[in-house]
Structure 1
């Protein structure tokens, strides 16, 4: 999608918080958390979506909004899931919708309806009555409005990261989901990663003892892609680095740690404080590699190269979440979890898993062990069931397809989502909360309780019991 809405002054100033909340906290004590955690009341008749199953669908009919690199790459994965069909595709560039439809036909799939050519094409598509699930893969600034419109159209929604970038938008999605009785969930594929799900099982089996801390993030040298004139349409992702100092995209590492800690399921995030390094990487890359007539020379980069969030939880745990995409470094989501009896560190080097582990009483001599045998014993049932199909049908090591397969299975079997709107809002709240903290010189801000108190009750999430995909036909 190429149309760019105006960016709010609050976000430009780094204050992407609920209206008035940040301003009331400026004069507080140096170590007091700013009251960004205000919980608005429910409207009459509005009820929680916790524990609400999908209605049973014989076939899940998917519509896709946004057919750039991510959206076009996911279209065939949806169509490959048993009992799922893509009925409509949309992009403001109509030719992209046509190419996506052509690819589906080439794979023997029915041709989906095509929408495009205008900024409101997606809204016209959502008036159709042959759509059950909307997958949204547009630039971040469109996610809130498009996700909200999908819910109001009576559809469930799976939204790429983040589902929204401001607290008021996150609350709006929670409330809209509760009013429409439709689910909206973050397309957090890394929560379905093989290492991440094995880590989750080990944590919930008590292998790490009492969980004390976790460390995750998104560390990815995107400089070449950010300055590409074709990869991110209209340079939308690079432009975010000119708008705010914030942790723009920490969810890939934050979400698996939050799941292992049962965030929203017996614990919750309470405060967040952020720090940022100077914004040096993008300007340095531009100076060395971009011609002087390139549009990027009109830009000023304000977002720190490394933004770190320190998050406290109600149960006394600590999460460190990082975002770094403008410096030279190998890819990592960090994915580290520690407790009273051991620690796991991912992205540590060679080996079949790329991870290492130290658990008592197995280990001695202060030496790490390969994670591989532990993962074999703790493999999540989803990887045992669809891991081979995932390798053939999905990107990112197969976790894209596992996310898609599980979403369709949940809808066809009428089960409760693994990831709900409350998880999605909590994980994505790190974006506006980091901006708010950095605007206060790194002082802590409150994390809202999107569950409105329901976090205290343990419940299942990604640690699901094995279930089958209903037969097709």
Structure 2
């Protein structure tokens, strides 16, 4: 029996942890890891095992009301420039800072809010001009839309300067950064909200309300994804400053962008609010697209020469997570295959099922098939949440991925102005973003399971569900 136990421990890697540390687990299937990558994965394993004693519970925390929310935008590219315009329409907002390393982006953002009563200061003096925004006493909320590597550094610095933070996805790309966001938000009592717009899409909000009201019975399984062919943009500097997205896909192999599909599933299941993520496994295909394309581009442009022999992320990553209540979640990531766009959004319960892609969203209450269009209209009439009834039509008019972006920004500002808890707090930002580095570890270790840490320090058992009833708040007007 002793011999069998040693063999078991050796197979699972547990013996290696106790005897020589977690580096023994880093036996990448293709053997192409660098020493730096091995070091990062070692830290990922260690950070996943951390047991945390919460300093202050940011879930359900209502910060003091801010009558006029003074916003500073950092990063004014594709997402940031559009966000500036959306927020400029909201009452009770003053856009006081616009920051980007490219002055032309600042000028373009300024032009989008001309005549709307905002008088921002411009910051474009260098790579660290963003610190001046965070230091400014005229800012309450720092809105971060930079490339991923700056998300956590800016968010941490801003909170330490007494600012609330709204940060694009993912909020962090390492486990260490996930933990730092949690600890800093708790210490400063400043909100760290991840800008996961898909949580505010119309079908996702409908199914969240249905789940909270018990329509699906007990949720058993969920599926989400980010399947989006953006291969061309990787090699277009006008769309990706300094080819940053290409670099991310060259340096990391896993589910790099999980939250679009994952976030709405987590909210419906009450993750961090009655249930928690326990452990996950992840598997990536080979890369069939990026390396050949990089070699092709290198023939035309020396800027891509360094990528000619690069080992890229696999086309498709599939990650599976098990929760404390025994539910399962499947999350996929593919941004380089010629496939139709999909976030999947599937919720499977003991009484009913919902699925969105292929469009439109459908509901089924048995194995016999989806409800009719007329039955769907009845479902929508009964379960459309208050936030959609109040702001949904206006959101569609003002735009942003069909209106979900505007709904997200309106809700963020309305919560700050009314002193309400955030729908997506720092624990969501950390646990949803953590799927990225955790998946990298599992992929590198032949899909072995890895624990998802409890960023709430055990408070998930009593944290309250997301409340979109608008029984409080809902007072922010819109200039149209």
Same-fold status (TM-score > 0.5): yes
* Residue 133 of structure 1: aligned partner: 141
- How much has 1:358 moved relative to structure 2? 0.7
The match for 1:359 among 365, 388, 391 is: 365
- How much has 1:465 moved relative to structure 2? 4.0
| Greater percentage in helix | 2
Q: Which runs of 5+ in 2 are unaligned?
A: 1-32
After TM superposition, list the pairs within 5 Å mapping 1:56-455 onto structure 2.
56-104=65-113, 106-286=114-294, 291-293=299-301, 295-299=303-307, 300-349=310-359, 354-360=360-366, 365-366=368-369, 369-370=372-373, 371-455=376-460
3-state secondary structure, aligned to 2:250 = coil
Q: Which runs of 5+ in 1 are unaligned?
A: 1-8, 24-34
Aligned pair count reads 442
3-state secondary structure, aligned to 1:437 = helix
Determine the C-alpha separation between the residues in 2 that align with 1:260 and 1:307.
23
- How much has 1:177 moved relative to structure 2? 0.6
The match for 1:13 among 28, 37, 61 is: 37
Determine the C-alpha separation between the residues in 1 that align with 2:75 and 2:393.
28
Determine the C-alpha separation between the residues in 1 that align with 2:220 and 2:477.
44
Determine the C-alpha separation between the residues in 1 that align with 2:48 and 2:287.
26
Determine the C-alpha separation between the residues in 2 that align with 1:169 and 1:82.
34
- How much has 1:98 moved relative to structure 2? 2.7
Cα distance change, pair 442–12 in 1 and its aligned pair in 2 (3 A):
farther
Deviates more, 1:299-308 or 1:69-78: 299-308
Native 8 Å contact 1:72 1:100 kept in 2: yes
Cα deviation 1:60-108 (Å, max 9, x = unaligned): 111100011110111011111121121111011223223322332x243
Name segments (4+ residues, structure 1) moved above 6 Å.
Answer: none
TM-score, with structure 1 as normaliser: 0.88
Native 8 Å contact 1:308 1:322 kept in 2: yes
Native 8 Å contact 2:166 2:195 kept in 1: yes
TM-score, with structure 2 as normaliser: 0.87
* Residue 38 of structure 1: aligned partner: 50
Native 8 Å contact 1:14 1:245 kept in 2: no
Cα distance change, pair 346–372 in 1 and its aligned pair in 2 (3 A):
farther
- How much has 1:282 moved relative to structure 2? 1.8
